[in-house]
Structure 1
């Protein structure tokens, strides 16, 4: 299983839900825009916490978080 996770920083509205739910994966940058934690092992996090990552995609009020599983994007 290959997972790819990214945040569209132009769309992020800084609600903080992702940061609160998965601080090992998401954090705020200096401008309070969500970003991925640089050393986060997304494949390991995906294997251990798939449901939380999918929930982060679906719970993002701006639709800024994107997740692909084996090249197929998870729907928000």
Structure 2
């Protein structure tokens, strides 16, 4: 699976807290998906997407 953080991130940290195996803050201070979603991290990545207050995270097969 692939995750993507689209424009509009407000740097709240919800995704980084929920799934640090996939999400981190970049040099500009906004979240990014820095790796593909491993099977063992799928549930946490979906939680990160679902808890994003501005709904800017996409997860694709």
Q: Same fold by TM-score, threshold 0.5 exceeded?
A: yes
**Number of residues of Structure 1 aligned to a counterpart in Structure 2:** 61
1:74 is matched with none
1:6 is matched with 4
Structure 2 unaligned segments of length 5 or more: list them: none
1:52-67 counterparts in 2 under 5 A?
Answer: 52-67=44-59
RMSD: 1.4
Moved runs in structure 1, 4+ residues, more than 6 A?
none
- Per-residue CA deviations over 1:6-38 (Å, capped at 9, x if unaligned) read 110x2111110111122121111122100122x
- Aligned mates of 1:4, 1:30 — CA distance in 2: 21
Q: Secondary structure at the match of 2:20?
A: coil
Q: Secondary structure at the match of 2:59?
A: strand
- Aligned mates of 1:51, 1:28 — CA distance in 2: 20
- Aligned mates of 1:20, 1:60 — CA distance in 2: 11
Higher alpha-carbon Rg: 1
